[in-house]
Each structure stands twice: as structure tokens, then as C-alpha cells.
Amino acid sequence: MRLTNFGPNETEIQINGLTLFFSYSTLVAVQQGNDLYDDDKVFITEKFWSKTTTRHIGGFLGRRDVPEHDRIRVPQAFLDEEVPLRVNATGDLHSIWLASWAA
């Protein structure tokens, strides 16, 4: 596990093949990519929190050089409910999104 602070209210945590990005104390983006899954999709909250959080998300995407076609906007509930399960288990977050959430 690796924790990186990019400012007083921007935190990135790398754990179990996921990169979790927090603005303030809220999980707002997740990138999946490791040896098990050749999938660098980034799941970004579709919820508007604030101009500052929007700027934080933009910085995260810029630092990670994520092209537009690899960005998936998801409900905040997906980040809140599915990501904690994935951190503690195996499973492809993109497949979970497609099977259970994307309708």
C-alpha cells in the first residue's frame, strides 16, 4: 500500500491493484490496473461536489495521463459500495460495473 498527498485535501492510495483518489475525505475516482487485469479504466464520480473537487479530479486524471475513452462516469454509490469490496477481494471492477450498474 502506498499513500501520496498532492495537497492538503488530495490523497491517492495504491492498494491491491487499485489507485483510489480522495478529495477531502470522499472517494471520487478509482483507477484499476495491475498484472491480473489489463484494464486502465478510471471510474469517476458523476456527482458534482464542488469546483475544488472538480479541479482535484482533473489533476488526478492529468497526472495519470488518462485518455477520455478510458474515463467512466459512475454514480457516487458505485464508488461507495463496490470499491471497498474490491479492495478486500479479487474481481474486475470494470466487469462489476458492466454487469451490475451500467444499464
pLDDT at 9: 94
pLDDT at 37: 41
Strands (DSSP E) contained in 1-103 are 2-7, 10-15, 18-23, 26-32, 42-45, 71-74
Q: Where are the domains of the chain?
A: 2-101
pLDDT, one tens digit per residue, over 22-75 is 999 999 999 986 443 445 789 999 999 999 999 999 999 998 888 898 899 999
pLDDT, one tens digit per residue, over 76-92 is 999 998 888 777 665 56
- Residue 21's SS3 state is strand
pLDDT at 85: 74
- Give the CA count within 13 Å in the CB-facing half-sphere of 25: 0
